[in-house]
Amino acid sequence: MASYAFKGGVHIPNPYPIKKPEVKQVAPPEQAALFLQQRAGGEQKPCVKVGDKVLTGQVIAKTSGKYPSYTHASISGVVLAIEKRPIPHPSGIDGVCIVIDSDGRTMD
């Protein structure tokens, strides 16, 4: 095996100064709409009803089958609606969403 005297590669200084971004805390949104089709499989079935209280991380919808998928609540609060809403899709289609009204609590 050859032995090389060139260790660590070439270290070229960056001519542009880089500022480290400041980390900021963001308040939870007042309302969240979670789309129920998260992958190529079928549409998920809600595990909650309108008026139910949900906690952050709680399973709110799931699919069945060989490879199930789950949707978890991203905020805690009350389920306001389960309805069709516009989703971010090139075709502009509507999709069934679970709408959660936040109670303002966080997981701290």
CA gap 78, 53 in Å, rounded: 4
Task: Indicate the SS3 state at residue 87.
Answer: coil
| 91 compared with 65, residue with greater pLDDT | 91
* pLDDT of residue 82 exceeding 60: yes
Burial class for 78, CB neighbours closer than 10 Å (0-12, 13-18, 19+): middle
pLDDT at 10: 80
pLDDT at 6: 64
Tens of pLDDT along 14-62?
A: 888 778 888 888 888 999 999 988 766 677 899 999 999 999 999 999 9
pLDDT at 2: 62
Helix, strand, coil % (nearest 5) of the chain?
A: 0, 30, 70
Which domains does the chain possess?
Answer: 40-102 (2.40.50.100)
* pLDDT of residue 73 exceeding 90: yes
**Average of per-residue pLDDT across 63-83:** 90
